[in-house]
């Protein structure tokens, strides 16, 4: 069989794994308890791991904030010195099978969703949404309000949520995600339906828990329903457990991860192991909140494009027309972008379907060579951070072509036949 034939066969296998994955939420626990290799002095952040001196702006501020929150340092200068010396261990989230929104910061006490891909056996993790305030740690802000909110999640929200999840015996997430796509979500920038559907799955367990902890249950319900983004972190953990199922498929040219850090945008490829291929920052088209301007836009990381990696988010835009109000664009533009993405993917997802497109499966399995052949770049829906921290808007970004060019050269070097 030719190299091209082997690649096509390997990509079909990767597509099969992506489509057959069955992510199930099994627990909610502190990262230090749930995640293998997560030590008390570890902090995770978005993107490929870099030396501490390479982190700048909001991502650097978020890591320092996590160190202070965890009690690993007495003040910012102390945190800076310990991160530089390695006394505080800084790692990229995906080294430990985790993903994190924007700066993506985790410390050991922060609770995570534990999501097992029952079809393949691998597990993905994501930390819990901080809440509605635009000033959040994952957006590079650490102040009294952020610290209070993080403690509230650690001490009140997560323990009750974990107890409820364990009482259910595990919550299958794929049926929720499939239904949510039919109700106007893209499972990245819009999670309105998914958040409510998830809450419904917990109702029996919460009713039982309310007999002994009514106050805790009420606070959890408020946290899950105060806005529409609670499910995003579940979507990310589900996507991570799904995407990791294709890691190591020999000969596959399908993208297995996409992520930002403050220096640029990176991808992994299923047949090329754990190596990241890094290019410049993505291009962005955003709608900014009142009072903000484009010169404020700042890159501080992001792992949420793991959703696009498995056929959601920007690859399901035509399922979520309501995103126009949040991130701009038009129905026609969203449909056009969505249709173009079929030209760079292996196939149509068997379960994630878009009603407006007559229930076509979402384009799934990004092939680096199709990206290069067509010039069509993956599109992602994102929140936009500001240079002074906090969220200042939302929009779409396109991955840089350089990542795919570098990955393709590495593929050719390894597999030959071109």
Report the pLDDT averaged over residues 15-19.
Answer: 98
**Residue 417 pLDDT grade (very low, low, confident, very high; cuts 50, 70, 90):** low
Q: Which residue has the tokens 């329903």?
A: 225
pLDDT given for residue 394 in this prediction: 80
C-alpha 87/C-alpha 227 separation (Å) is: 38
Q: Mean pLDDT over residues 147-171, rounded?
A: 96
Fold classification of 252-415 (topology level):
v583 fold (3.90.1700)
Phi, then psi, of 293 in degrees rounded to 5: -130, 160
Strands 111-117 and 89-92: unpaired
pLDDT at 161: 97
Q: Max CA-CA distance within the chain? A: 66
- In the chain, where does the domain assigned CATH 3.90.1710.10 lie? 3-238
- φ, ψ of residue 148 in degrees (nearest 5): -65, -40
The pLDDT value recorded for residue 288 is: 80
- Asked whether the predicted pLDDT for residue 17 surpasses 70, the reply is yes
| 186-221 per-position pLDDT tens digit | 999 999 999 999 999 999 999 999 999 999 999 999
The per-residue pLDDT for 131 is 81
The span from the CA of 217 to the CA of 202, in Å, is: 11
Average pLDDT, the chain: 94
pLDDT confidence of residue 289:
80
- More confident position, 395 or 103: 103
What is the rounded distance in angstroms from the CA atom of residue 332 to the CA atom of residue 323?
13
Please list, in sequence order, all residues whose beta carbon lies within 8 angstroms of the beta carbon of residue 398, skipping any fewer than 6 positions away.
Answer: 282, 283, 377, 378, 379, 380
Among the four given CATH numbers 3.40.109.10, 3.40.50.280, 3.40.50.1820, 3.90.1710.10, the one describing domain 3-238: 3.90.1710.10
- For Cα atoms 371, 372, 378, give the angle at the middle one, nearest 5 degrees: 30
- Least Cα distance to 283 among 380, 387, 385 occurs for 380
**Based on C-alpha coordinates, what's the Rg of the chain?**
20
Residues of the chain with CATH 3.90.1700.10: 252-415
pLDDT value of residue 178: 98
Per-residue pLDDT averaged across 337-355, rounded? 97
Residue 1 has pLDDT above 90, yes or no: no
Backbone angles phi, psi at 25, to 5 degrees: -75, 120
Residue 277 reports pLDDT greater than 70? yes
pLDDT at 315 > cutoff 60: yes
């Amino acid at each position: 069989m030719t190299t091209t034939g082997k690649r096509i066969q390997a990509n079909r296998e990767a597509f099969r794994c992506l489509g057959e994955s069955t992510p199930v939420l099994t627990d909610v626990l502190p990262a230090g308890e749930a995640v293998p290799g997560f030590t008390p002095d570890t902090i995770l952040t978005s993107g490929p791991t870099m030396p501490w001196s390479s982190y700048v702006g909001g991502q650097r501020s978020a890591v320092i904030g996590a160190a202070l929150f965890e009690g690993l340092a007495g003040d910012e200068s102390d945190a800076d010195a310990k991160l530089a010396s390695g006394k505080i261990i800084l790692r990229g989230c995906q080294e430990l099978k985790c993903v994190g929104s924007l700066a993506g910061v985790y410390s050991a006490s922060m609770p995570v969703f534990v999501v097992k891909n029952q079809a393949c056996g691998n597990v993905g993790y994501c930390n819990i949404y901080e809440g509605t305030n635009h000033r959040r740690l994952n957006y590079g802000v650490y102040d009294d309000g952020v610290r209070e909110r993080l403690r509230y999640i650690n001490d009140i929200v997560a323990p009750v949520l974990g107890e409820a999840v364990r009482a259910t015996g595990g919550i299958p997430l794929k049926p929720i995600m499939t239904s949510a796509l039919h109700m106007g979500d893209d499972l990245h920038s819009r999670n309105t339906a998914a958040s409510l559907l998830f809450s419904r799955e917990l109702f029996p367990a919460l009713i039982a828990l309310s007999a002994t902890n009514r106050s805790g249950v009420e606070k959890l319900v408020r946290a899950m329903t105060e806005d529409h983004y609670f499910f995003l972190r579940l979507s990310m953990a589900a996507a991570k457990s799904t995407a990791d199922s294709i890691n190591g498929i020999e000969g596959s040219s399908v993208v297995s991860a996409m992520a930002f850090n403050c220096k640029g945008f990176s991808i992994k490829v299923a047949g090329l192991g754990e190596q990241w291929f890094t290019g410049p920052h993505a291009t962005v088209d955003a709608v900014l909140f009142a009072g903000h301007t484009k010169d404020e836009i700042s890159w501080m990381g992001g792992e949420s494009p793991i959703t696009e990696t498995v056929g959601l988010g920007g690859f399901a835009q035509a399922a979520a027309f309501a995103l126009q109000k949040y991130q701009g664009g038009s129905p026609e533009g969203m449909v056009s972008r969505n249709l173009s993405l079929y030209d760079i993917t292996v196939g149509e997802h068997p379960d994630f379907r878009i009603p407006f497109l007559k229930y076509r499966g979402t384009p799934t399995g990004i092939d680096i060579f199709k990206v290069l052949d067509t010039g069509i770049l993956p599109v992602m829906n994102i929140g936009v951070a500001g240079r002074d921290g906090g969220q200042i808007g939302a929009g779409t970004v396109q991955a840089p072509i350089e990542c795919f060019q570098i990955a393709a050269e590495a593929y050719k070097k390894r597999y030959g036949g071109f």
